Structure 1
Amino acid sequence: MAVVGSSRPLRGIAAVVALLAVGAVGCSEVAESAKEGAKKVARQRSVYSLDIGDCYNPNGKAEGTAYAVEVVPCGEAHEGQVVGEFALDEAKKYPGEDGVAAVADERCPVEAQKYAPDTWALPKGVALFYYTPTAESWATGDRAVSCTYTAETGTLSASLGTAKSLEPAQRTYLEGSNAVYEAMWATQPLADTVEDDLAGYKAQAKAVAAALETHVGNMAAIDGTEVGKLRATLTKAAGNWKKAANAADSDAFYLAYDAAFTGIDPNASVAARKELGLATTVPADDAEVWAG
């Protein structure tokens, strides 16, 4: 996402400390197996001591609880990497699994983007998971949540950390772009239709408009023909999001929203991203949303 000891669940993936056994095989195979087993044991780290940037392999199958993982060099094959962490200091008592998960769902994407700002550059099949405290570990003072990018199939072969290698213009663009999409998805109303929650959809539109205006303002400092074209597109989109936020009724909202939503289609940013030297393949999840 056992052995006696405190554990932490990893949503979607698990690690279980394993006992290594040598069977009746040839001497050279035994020696090689023993060598690999010793290396694996030496690399075991408690899930409580994981740091941002650590690449690791779980010791068991997906789903369940974790006590320890095998921390490996990021250049070796690995299934996950810690890309963010935060503490649940605001809670006096254990919030329960659902309560902890709700906070992690909200905060892990933000923390992960600090370490790997360009989500378009992530390998295919990588998803965001997190280790969280259990009721038992909470009682011993555990408050940390570790956010990880994990390969749902196969393995990773390099660190996903890109923040330190970014140029100023790249960082400025990504911070603004990420903020726009975060504003959109973080404020998504639960109601399926605007008629059922016009106020909620207007609040979402207001949040997206504000994020877009900040993004557009910061893009003024970035040189480039394609960046300039995108800035003009997003300026128009911000105006439509504002119209949606101020809509008097559902009909007026829909009229503005159609143009507003189209205005932030990620496909429209591909040329500007190429000009900035950033990844240009729209993530599958985003592509599916806009195609729908």
Structure 2
Amino acid sequence: MSIPPPPGPQQPQDPYGPPQPQGPGPYPQQPYGPQAPQGPQGPYAGAPYAVWGQGYMPLNRPAPVNGIAIAALVLGVLCFLPAVGLVLGVIALVQIRKRGERGTGMAIGGAVLSSLGLALWVLMLATGGGSSFWEGFKEGVSSNSSLSLVQGDCFDVPGDSIDEDVYDVDTVDCAGAHEGEVFGTVRLSGGSYPGDDYLADEAEDKCYTLETRYTMDTWTLTDEIDVYHLTPTRESWEWGDHQIVCVFAHTDGQSRLTGSLRSDATTLTADQLAFLKALNAVDDALYEEPEDYAEEDLEANKAWAGDVAEATAEQAGALDGHTWQTGARQPVAALVKDMAKAGKAWTAASTAADVDTFYEHYDTAYAHVDGAATVTARKALGLATTPPTYEDDSEGGSTGGSSRGSDDGLDV
């Protein structure tokens, strides 16, 4: 006989689930767990608490880090724009306090480091160190060269010959054996690569002037010494290599030189300097001889002879007016007399009526150039005493060093 269940909201118990509460309650229970309360206007109407969705915001989420604090710390560590780093540090602290952000330590650290950097910059500027640093920095950037050679450096090349492309050197003491000696450098303006021909012309022109300044005693430049030009390549130019290097080396490009060829105000005595200035001024006038022979342009050659006569007379006067050491006084006086004779011959050549007369006086004048009186005076002053030899330009020779390097595109 079946017994009906007692009246009421009781429901059958799930033998595998949690026990259901028995008895009446404010909310009827459904078969599968507690449901939302029912009200007169549908589910959740008049619910006594808020309903949560599927997600929630955790209460322990960290505050964001202030970006300006990070920037202040970076500038402080790098010591770059310290004033800006200090200002950013202060701004970051104000924002952190207002917004509740993190980064206080970074802001303070950046401000402190920037303050130290600012103080260091002020000290450098006050003592002149900043100027020296900036000049060195500019030189390092503008002279982006694999060689970085300066006037007075002596060096060896890793290869077999300096006559080949040079990409690196080993600097050595000039007193010992070496393959090259730098007598000057020429800094070129920026811009696009000027081309091989332009570099060759610039090297030929500028290095000649630097040669006579570095080695005033030109008699030390024997037949075994030549001039080489190390110039930028198109590739090295793009990296900031804008320098021509003027170099003394052996004519064969392989043999080594011994001792420095430098003879200028840093190495010469007062008497040696006065003597070489006078004779080099006469040489400069002689080097201006016209390319056309007198047969082709007599008037141009006569004008040149007049210039040489004027330079000879002027420099003879400079030598005569200088006070010489005892041992050099008589030899220099004899040279002055010899120069006076040469001056008269040059003057006569400048007024010659025809080519034959011009060459007659020309030969007489040249007989006094680098003559015995010059050798004697040089010996008394402790200068080189072997006169240089000059190749004949008409036979394809050259009175100076070879202009190579630029044509080969050697990297400086």
- Residue 343 of structure 2 corresponds to 238
Q: How many percent identity over aligned positions?
A: 37
Q: Residues 20-99 of structure 1 correspond to what in structure 2 (within 5 A)?
A: 46=145, 49-60=148-159, 61-88=161-188, 96-99=195-198
Cα 1:148/1:65, change in 2 over 3 Å: same
Q: How many residues align?
A: 240
Once residues 240 and 49 of structure 1 are traced to their aligned partners in structure 2, the CA distance between those partners, rounded to angstroms, is: 49
Change (3 A) 1:252 1:106: farther
Does the CA-based 8 Å contact 2:227-2:248 persist in structure 1?
A: yes
2:291 to 190, 195, 207: 190
Mapped contact 1:267–1:282 kept (Cα < 8 A): no
3-state SS in 1 of match to 2:375? helix
Return 5+ residue gaps in structure 1 as ranges.
1-44
Per the TM alignment, residue 173 of structure 1 is displaced from its structure 2 partner at its CA by 0.9
> Could you say what secondary structure the match of 1:53 adopts?
coil
Q: What SS does structure 1 have at the residue aligned with 2:177?
A: coil
Unaligned stretches of 5+ in structure 2? 1-143, 393-412
- Separation in 1, partners of 2:235, 2:299: 41
Structure 1 residues 260 and 146: CA distance shift in structure 2, 3 A: same
- 2:216 matched to 1:117? yes
Alpha-carbon distance, 1:138 to partner: 4.9
CA distance in 2, matches of 1:199, 1:254: 13
Offset from partner CA, 1:225-260 (integer Å, 9 cap, x none): 111111111122122223323334323322321211
- 1:272 is aligned to 377
2:280 equivalent to 1:181: no
Alpha-carbon distance in 2 for matches of 1:268, 1:93: 52
Q: 1:124/1:252 Cα in 2 relative to 1: closer, same or farther (>3 Å)?
A: closer
CA, structure 1 residues 88+156, in 2 after alignment: closer, same or farther (shift >3 Å)?
A: same
Aligned residue number for residue 168 of structure 1: 270
Cα deviations by residue, 1:87-111 (Å, 9 ceiling, x for unpaired) = 355x987664344333433332331
Distance 1:88 1:214 in 2: 36
Distance 1:208 1:104 in 2: 27
Secondary structure of the residue aligned to 1:114 is: helix
Say if 2:330 is the partner of 1:228.
no
TM-score (norm 1): 0.71
1:31-60 deviation digits (Å, cap 9, x = unpaired): xxxxxxxxxxxxxx9455110011001222
Secondary structure of the structure 1 residue equivalent to 2:163: coil
2:227/2:246 contact within 8 Å kept: yes
- Equivalent residue of 1:194, what SS? coil
Contact 1:205 1:244 survives alignment (8 Å): yes
TM-score (norm 2): 0.52
Tell me the SS of whatever aligns to 1:117. coil
Is the Cα–Cα contact under 8 Å of residues 278 and 318 in structure 2 kept in the other structure? yes
Establish whether residue 256 from structure 1 lines up as the match of residue 361 from structure 2.
Answer: yes
Give the corresponding residue for 2:319.
219
Whole-angstrom distance in 1 between the partners of 2:384 and 2:335: 16
In the TM superposition, what is the alpha-carbon distance from 1:174 to its structure 2 partner? 0.7
For 1:243 and 1:141, locate their aligned partners in 2 and report how far apart those are by CA, in whole Å. 54
CA contact (8 A) 1:126 1:151 kept: yes
Aligned equivalents of 1:197, 1:179: Cα separation in 2:
25
Provide the alpha-carbon RMSD of the alignment.
2.8
Cα distance, 1:222 vs. partner? 4.2
Which structure has the greater CA radius of gyration? Answer: 2
More helix by share: 1
Q: Matched residues in 1 for 2:192 and 2:298: separation?
A: 36
CA contact (8 A) 1:238 1:260 kept: yes
Q: Secondary structure at the match of 2:169?
A: strand
Partner of 1:40: none
How many angstroms apart in 1 are the aligned matches of 2:213 and 2:262?
A: 9
Query: Cα gap change, 1:111/1:240 in structure 2, threshold over 3 Å: closer, same or farther?
Result: same
